Amino acid sequence: MPALEPVEGWRVVATPSALDGARWNGDDVDVLRIAPDEALALGATGVEIDDPDAIVEPEAGFSVAMLDVDDWHGVVDHIDWPLPEEPSVLAQGKVAGVPARIVLGEPTLLVVQAAYANELRSRLGW
């Protein structure tokens, strides 16, 4: 079964232009632009951003599963909304009725808030 594990990172709310130019610290950072003015940087250890009013917070409230093709096939039957056709595009919607975020790729990232992780595992039979 795929592992859905807590992940650390940074979360930033700032002006869209400042977020566009944000400089993320860390070796293996996945930046999810979850709203025009908000980014979740998984694996980031810090950020520099040109917005004095930006809200910049360490984030430990998410869990992530890295899905190979077989794992992904088991998940996709629980999605009833159109997924983007291009890889690496962030998709947001419900998986088995649980709010989640998906980045298609190899592997595919399945991101869920930790408060929902147990429920999602249960619904996916993990």
Partner 1 sequence: MTDAPAEVAGRIVVDGRPIEFADGDSLAVAIVRRGEVPCHGGCLCLAGDCGNCLAEVDGVAYVRTCQVAARPGTVVVRHPAGGKPQLPVVDWRDLTLMPVGSKIAVRRTEADVAVIGGGSSGQSAAEAARSAGRDVLLLDARNGSEVVGIYPGPSIVTRDSGGMLHVRADEIVVATGSVEIQPACPGSDLGGIVTAGAAERLEAAGVDLGRVVHVGRELLRFEGDAGRVSAVVTVGMDATETTTPCETAVVDLGRAPRDVLARMSRAEGVSAVGPAAEDQPLPAPPRDGVVCPCMGTTVGDLEAAWDQGYTDLELLKRASWAGLGPCQGGACLPHVRSWIAARTSGPPPAPFTARPAARQITLAEAAADVAIDAFRRTPLHDEHLTLGARMDRFGGWWRPWHYGDAVAEYWAVREGVSVGDVSTLGKLVVSGPDVVEALERIYPCHVADIKPGRSRYALLLNERGHVMDDGMILRDGETRFTLTFTSGGAANAEMWLRDWIETWGLRVHVMDRTMSLAAINVTGPLVKTLLARLGLEDAPRFLGHIRAEIAGVPCHVMRLSFTGETAFELHHPLDGSVALWRALMDAGRDLGVRPHGLQALFGLRLEKGHVIVGMDTELDTTPRRLGMDWAVRMEKPAFIGRASLERTAKLDDSRRWVGFSMDGEAPTEGSPIRSVENGEIVGNVTGSWTSPLLRKALMLGWQRRAPFADRVEIDGREAVVTPTPFYDPEGHRARA
Binding region for partner 1 (CB under 8 A)? 6, 8, 11, 13-14, 37-38, 53-55, 57-61, 76-80, 82, 94, 96-99, 113-116, 118-120, 123
User: Are 58 and 72 a contacting pair, CB within 8 Å?
Assistant: no
C-beta of 28 vs 77, nearer to partner 1: 77
The reply to whether omega before 107 is within 30° of 0 (cis) is yes
C-beta of 54 vs 91, nearer to partner 1: 54
What order do you get walking across the sheet with 90-95 strand by strand?
Answer: 30-35, 38-42, 5-13, 55-67, 108-113, 98-103, 90-95
What is the smallest separation between the CB atom of 116 and partner 1, expressed in angstroms?
A: 6
What is the smallest separation between the CB atom of 99 and partner 1, expressed in angstroms?
A: 8
